[in-house]
Amino acid sequence: MKWFPIDSAPKDGSYILLFTSHGIAECYWDYDRWEQTACYSTYDGCGDVVLYDTPTHWMPSPVPPEEPKHPYLCECMDCIPFE
């Protein structure tokens, strides 16, 4: 994936990654500001995600991996494998 200048970031509510000097955060545009949903590098010591600085770059959020399918009949994973 490639970082893009912040001026080209979508402001339609899409979840994207933003880069600031404090780290990388997953955000979306909410009317007049960026709202964070998660932080991937630094936080303020209280466990809160940070977006102190103006973001300089953005990229689309990666597609999450598919859930692995397991061959069990129930979710407890103690059952006999289904064959």
Kindly give the confidence (pLDDT) of every residue in the chain, 83 residues in length, as a single tens digit, with 9 standing for 90 and above.
799 999 999 999 999 999 887 778 888 999 988 888 876 655 555 444 556 678 899 999 888 788 766 665 555 555 555 45
Domain membership of residue 43 as a residue range: 4-60
Q: Name which of 32, 35, 29, 26 is nearest 60 in CA terms.
A: 26
Tell me whether residue 76 is in a domain: no
> What domain count does the chain have?
1
| Per-residue pLDDT at 69 | 67
Q: What single DSSP character describes residue 43?
A: B
Is 73 part of any domain?
no
> Tell me, what's the pLDDT at 81?
52
Length of the chain: 83
- Whole-angstrom distance, CA of residue 50 vs CA of residue 42: 7
H/E run at residue 59:
strand 57-60
